[in-house]
Structure 1
Amino acid sequence: MKAQFEKIAAPLENSFKSFIYENERFDAPWHFHPEFELTYIEKGKGIRYVGNNIQKFEEGDFVLIGTNLPHCWKNTETNVGDVKSIIFQWDENLLGADWILKSEFSEIKNLLKRASKGIKFPYNIAQRYPERLKSILKQSPFKKMISFLEFLEELSQIKEFELLCSPNFTPILNRKATNRIETVYHFVRHNYDKKIKLSDVSSLVSMSDEAFCRFFKKSFNKSFFTFINEYRINLACKMLSETNKQVSQIAYECGYESLPFFYKQFQKFMNCSPLIFKKEGAKVNA
């Protein structure tokens, strides 16, 4: 799998690109582009990567991505099947040069500035929008533009949201670095259930262990093993929510050889024990 710089061309009849993506799985690689992107997941589950953030996602995931912010959605090996998302993509000159500096668009400007770290809107808000987004897709070019601007203005008023990247995260956008990152993602995705040695990964990207650790820390503002544990705990959360497997079995299938260490990592990332997480999830789904 190769990392890509993706150039998005708006159709001639519109100033921005909007479409429904349907496929057997989310197959876009770890990539970035100079356009903003608003994505609503209507069908599909897996792991979402935005900058140095990694989280599980499912139906109702609603995220605004800033310019040149690396991202991708990936199905896990246990979640394959048809996927569907609603996507809007536009560049900074949506209404011409410097439009965003006009006072009429000050709130949208603040929204897009926050999007440089990636914005995730909560499910209770996101669930209001899929039909509205699809209705915008069907409108004539002029009405589509007006409706889209109104929608961005509405999003700018939402006070409840999550910034995905850490404050000091700065993406590394050169091709060599993104190729390395994509290689690492691919390896972890297919080997998370096994014991992973630092040398296994550093050799894949032709770096020494020490150089790889520096590279990963600089790219993600976290260590490689913190990244692995985030990935595994996200998968564990999914299995706790969707299966009746014992905690010990889930820990083993997510790559943990030590149950106490699994509990320690789960508490670190989720601020609760696996059993409490499962119990609270059961209440929500009851």
Structure 2
Amino acid sequence: MKPHLLKVSTGGPLRSFSIRQDTVPYINNRWHYHPEVELIHIKKGEGMQFVGDSIQRFSSDELLLIGSNLSHYWRFDEAYFGESPQAKAEILVIHFSETFWGDQFLRLPENLLIKALLEKAKLGIRVVGTTKREVKPLLEGCVQAEGTQKIILLLQILDQLSRCDQLQELSSMGFKDLHEKAEEGRINRIYEYSFANFRNRIETEKIAEVAHLSPNSFCRYFKSKTRKTYSQFLLELRVGYACKLIREYRLDMRQICFESGFHNLTSFHKAFKSAMGKTPLQYQQEFFNKSKPAQRK
């Protein structure tokens, strides 16, 4: 699979930027980039998120700002696919050009913070805390608004984001997204093979063969692209899948361990606690306690 330069539609001749809501899990379900900035609210959905050289799981209620030409990819879990999917996705996404309001707009002294925000977004940004709660109603309003009000709401969102300190950069400092087809094709082959086979043992020699590299070169290559070893990446995939099994099925921990691709309970518990900060049993108890309806007094 090769990277795609995605052509984003504005949604019609009377619109200067695109905003839409989706309920399908294959939105952004390929490695791609586009000159437009992307503001995305994943209302419902879980899976693996790739932004530049950042790889991590995403879950419902994620709000992210993806800068111009930054490669990204959301791969939803298998539960969201098929003829009768067990889970439903819900996404709100805005695409806009940095210059849709004119070449000089961001150079105005009043807009320097927004200009800095969009520059920072070229590494990818996650919005958290109270800022995320405050921005979400503005996003919903932007969907319904017409005419000038739609642009005003987008500006309010960007202004609010530019003034807060509750932003988490995703890619590493100095990351360069060069969009080299050969390199992006290689990293995509690695991802696709890993997603298809992470529940089995993957030898370094085999994944290196998929990447068309020697084992030593593969280890250096993967670390340079993702800031983690391939072993760490596999453990994160397996722990993420274990979390899904814990939430969706009443399986015992031994079943979850082996279904997730671990080969013994000791390594399963160690990897799970390292990734999640708690044991699988603690995670299970917390999840089901939160899921219980509140009792009336």
Length-normalised TM-score, structure 1: 0.88
Query: 1:172 deviation in Å?
Result: 4.4
- The answer as to 2:54 corresponding to 1:53 is yes
The one of the two structures with greater contact order (alpha-carbon pairs below 8 A, sep at least 6) is 1
Map of 1:188-203 to 2, 5 A cutoff?
A: 188-203=194-209
For 1:1-286, what aligned pairs fall within 5 Å after superposition? 1-10=1-10, 11-23=12-24, 25-26=26-27, 28-80=29-81, 81=85, 82-122=88-128, 126=132, 130=136, 132-286=138-292
Instruction: Report the alpha carbon displacement of residue 105 of structure 1 after superposing the two structures with TM.
Output: 1.4
Q: Which residue of 1 aligns with 2:295?
A: none
3-state SS of 1:92 partner:
coil
Instruction: Give the drift of 1:231.
Output: 1.6
Name the CA distance, whole Å, in 2 between partners of 1:276 and 1:242.
16
Alpha carbons 1:39, 1:85 under 8 Å: kept: yes
Q: Distance in 2 between matches of 1:247 and 1:52?
A: 32
The letter of the residue matching 1:84 is E
Mapped partners of 1:185, 1:39: distance in 2: 22
Q: Is the Cα contact below 8 Å between 1:169 and 1:221 reproduced in 2?
A: no
Q: CA deviation at 1:149?
A: 0.5
Shift of 1:46: 2.1
3-state DSSP of counterpart to 2:257: helix
Residues 129-188 of structure 1: CA deviation (Å, up to 9, x unaligned): 555424313333322111111121122233333322333543342111111122111111
Structure 2 stretches lacking a partner, 5+ long: 293-297
Comparing 268-277 and 251-260, the one that deviates more:
268-277
Amino acid at match of 1:64: L
Asked if the contact 2:25/2:76 (under 8 Å) is kept, the reply is no
Specify whether residues 280 and 83 from structure 1 end up closer, same or farther in structure 2 by C-alpha distance, changes over 3 A only.
closer
How many Å separate the matches in 1 of 2:134 and 2:291? Answer: 19
Q: Secondary structure at the residue paired with 1:78?
A: helix
SS in 1 for 2:90: strand
Q: Which amino acid aligns with 2:226?
A: F
Mapped to 1, the partners of 2:62 and 2:205 lie a distance apart of 35
CA contact (8 A) 1:66 1:117 kept: yes
The change in CA–CA distance for 1:272 and 1:22 in structure 2 (over 3 A counts) is closer
User: What secondary structure does 2:23 align onto?
Assistant: strand
How many residues align? The count is: 286
Q: 1:16, 1:91 within 8 Å by CA — same for their partners in 2?
A: yes
Counting aligned pairs with the same residue, the percent is 28
CA distance in 2 between counterparts of 1:279 and 1:123 reads: 24
TM-score, normalised to structure 2's length? Answer: 0.85
Q: Runs of 5+ in structure 1 lacking a partner?
A: none
